[in-house]
Amino acid sequence: LINDNVMECCRIYGVKKLVSCLSTCIFPDKTSYPIDETMVHNGPPHSSNMGYSMAKRMIDTLNHCYKDQYDLDYTSVIPTNIYGPHDNFCIEDGHVIPGLIHKCYVAKRDGTDFVIWGTGSPLRQFIYSEDLAFLTVWVLRKYDSIEPIILSVDEEAEVSIKDVAEMVAEAMGFEGKVICDTTKADGQFKKTASNQKLRSYLPDYKFLSMKEGVKRSVDWFVENYETARK
């Protein structure tokens, strides 16, 4: 309903361009990799995300309907995993990198092991928040299609959760043990996304490296620990 109301209000009040944010969880649970923008509606999403995923998919459907009926250029972006300063660093319900940063901070403070859930082997693509902000503004100003576009680092930049944890530990100056709790589930092994469409428009765009992005995120969290969302 939020999506529907935002889009309808934009139409009523004469908004010429609307960029909505989707998620990689909208893609079919059973699919081939890398996933791309043509696969959004090719099968049901994972059951754990069914309601959220289908609501997000409907944005793409509505973008096409609003183009057909009102000739409006409303479109959508599909970012991969986002991280950066000002994130939600809650260990229980935050996303991967902010959760790991908070866990590592506590482990360093308390002199305990830095424990990550699962084997650490699942692979993910992470995009730094400032890169996503730049690209979203680019979509608003320069991207003229109603078809969704994936905003992601290259496939080669995909990293394992264990590698991310080690980057966090290095940036935090944590010298203890990094332990994988294999009694916890890994979740989906990979969700590799293709940014071929993005690269066709911006072939030379340079994403911030993971190592530097993690360092900036860790530094921000440490400096703003008392007021950070956690």
Q: Which residues are catalytic?
A: 52
* CA distance linking residue 179 with residue 115, whole number of Å: 5
State the distance between the two ends of the chain, measured CA to CA, in whole angstroms: 29
* CA distance linking residue 100 with residue 169, whole number of Å: 9
* φ, ψ (nearest 5 deg) of residue 7: -65, -40
**How much of the chain is in helix, strand and coil states, percent to nearest 5?**
45, 15, 40
- Bond preceding residue 34 cis, omega within 30 of 0: yes
Residue 24 DSSP symbol: G
Burial of 73 (C-beta count, 10 Å sphere; 0-12/13-18/19+) = middle
- Token pair for residue 37? 């923008």
Burial 129-168 (b: 16+ CB within 10 A, else e): bebbeebbebbeeebeebebbbbbbeeeebbebbbbbbbb
User: Radius of gyration of the chain from Cα atoms?
Assistant: 19
Residue 181 DSSP symbol: E
